[in-house]
Structure 1
Amino acid sequence: MKKLIVICLFLAGWHSLLAGSPRNIMLILGSADPAVLQDRMDVALRLYTKQHFDKIIVSGGCAAHGSSICEASFMKEVLLKSGVSSSMIYKEENSKTTVQNYVFSRRLKEADGTLVMKPGDTVYVVSNHWHAISVAARLRKYDNLEAKFYIEGSIDPKPTDKLDYVSIFNGEPDNDKFVLKGTWLTPQAAWQEGDSTHYLTGSLVYVTDPQNMRFSVYERRKVFSGLEPYAAGRDLRFIDAGSSWYVWNGEKLLHVEKQERKVRSILSLTDLIPGLSPAWKYSLKAGAIYGDRLLLFSDSTLLVGKRKGKIFEIEQETAASAYFRNWPYSWGRGNVSAARIDPQTRKLYLYRNQECLELNAGLKSVQAPQSLRLKWIDKSK
């Protein structure tokens, strides 16, 4: 009996060790050019036959530079047709640039909220272009990954091209600033005060006038002092509820007044939406309570709840592209970072990767997404 216990303990310990051991990961960088993208997939598949991989990340957005493809979806289909298991493939379908390939891929998470690429993992950055070198170098230096690059191809650099592609590696030594610059401005929350629009992104609140001629910036702690005890080391996700927000920090749901920005109460997600899947604890990105409907966004899913008293009953889970009218192709299935309700017009504004989409009262987009490339700042008040 003692021998059996020892063996069981040994096997349990060995399984635990394996579960936490470094993994081999392939990161394939997309392209808006279908021919170039196919070349990169050919390179990736040749590497796949030579090297064992535990995970494969395909990184590239929809309709970048006016193209007609969703890069990550295309790459995933090629992998599936080549016999790669779907469970190995992770899609990052938000990137418009190589910088964003880095920024968004390093943030990708598993269903349990842990990072797909963990410190100590070996990551092969794959392409037919030398930009893979710069991305691999940054992953090694700033993300504690054993990063390598794997490049094949005959693309000749121009005389003006640098080995450090667009200064990804040496351009900004402060990695938090590099990441923020790469997505500036992509807010977690937005709201109006008079003629000014306020945008919360990370630890900063950016305020601008309608013409974006004048702006100011403040530390989040000065604007949302009541949230700071719940914000340390956590991502804040905002659900616009009209006169208030529900703010999710991964563990607690905080009901916050907009006018005084005080925490009214502390709840759980299931207090608001009973029966919500535990996966939403990690995947929730943004939301809004619009009339009698609750809209919650994750990377690829929209959850719609219908009000019943003080709670919302789940009505459906679908892609944002299937629910909203005239949804822009370039926005893929969703991946909304913030939602804002205009109390005067009842329009719904959605934010995603430096863009804003305006929806009318019928939840129909009235025009193409508008650029939100507001002036970069380095100092705060």
Structure 2
Amino acid sequence: MAWLMAGAAICTAAALLVALFVPPELRVRGFAPMVLGSALLGGLVGLVPGVREIEVAAARTMLGVEEDLVVPARPSPAHRLRSIAFVQVHLLSGAVLAAGLTMALPASTVVIVDVLRGGAGSFLPLPADPLGRAAAGIGAVLLAVLVLVIWWPLGALAARLAPVLLGPTAQDRLALALARSAQEAARTRIARDLHDGIGHALTVVSLQAAAGRHVITRDPASAEEALARIEDTARRALEELDGMLAALREDAPSGGAEPSGQHRRRLEAVLAEHRRAGMDLHAQVDVPPDLPAVQGEHLVRILAELLANAHRHGGPGPVELRLGPVGSVLHLEVSNPLADAADAADAADADPAVEDRMPRRGGHGLPGLSERCALFGGELEAGAEAGRWRARVRLPILQEEP
């Protein structure tokens, strides 16, 4: 209601401004076109800097929109057109509510009172016959009820349109994917550096501390040497950690998307690797030539994780893989036979190495895949179906700016 009343106030101000340039004799006859023109003209307010920010905040607080809404640092023509469209929706919705409350509701109230009093009609002429007067009264009641509840469908419609007109465009999702890809590459590099540097240093410290503890009573010199090594190793580890923290503070860019076309070779390498590992893989792969590099990179990771899951958790039998575009959406489906729990347990007892290929609880594979898909506005569906485990991925194919 508050969002609609705000729109009504702005539309009224725009109508008063338009009325200054409309001759008085045309204001009454052209009232509805004047209001409509005012809303369309007022939509140009969407071009004013800061208006989109206000509409986004209002949609979140007043309409309860929880989907992603964006305020781009550098609005594109698509952002500006969508901002204008949403402002027009805001003004027209407010104008409808204002017209109902200020005109339709009072008129229907007067008609109801005239019908109850039995008058001829002080505002609108009423039929003389009882049936006609009853119909007029019922119509007035229905109109009044409609005016009192119309705010709800108008608000629901605006809440549905807000993510469409104020949400991220395909270019926004692509830019977000590039940014998150760079962040992910940075986290991977940091994890590798921590493992190779700090982890190695802590291992050395642990070994030297254990050696020093064993010889501290019978060979104090060796114990002192071990403590000196611990001190030196810890100092170097702290210097390395300070270097990594300094790089993080500087927010230096790192990594990024691989060159365009490289993901196709990586896809082929992933398929060949699983075939060499013994997987009976039947693949139908059709990668769109215009697939953005960052999206192709994530596609390789999604496919690798799905095939790894089939290798670890699936039963014996062929693994089916289909990858290809359908319109502007890339479809990926991987299916594999379900493993029999009893057979898997017997195999693990006979060969402990099989345990590594059995399903593990508490994994983060599917949630991680869902996050990767959502990054591009896609979705993941996975579950048992007709004796096989099927995973379906749908990814909108994003287009890079020229």
TM-score if structure 1 supplies the norm length?
0.24
TM-score if structure 2 supplies the norm length?
0.23
Greater strand share, 1 or 2? 1
Greater helix share, 1 or 2? 2
User: Higher relative contact order at CA 8 Å, sep ≥6: structure 1 or structure 2?
Assistant: 2
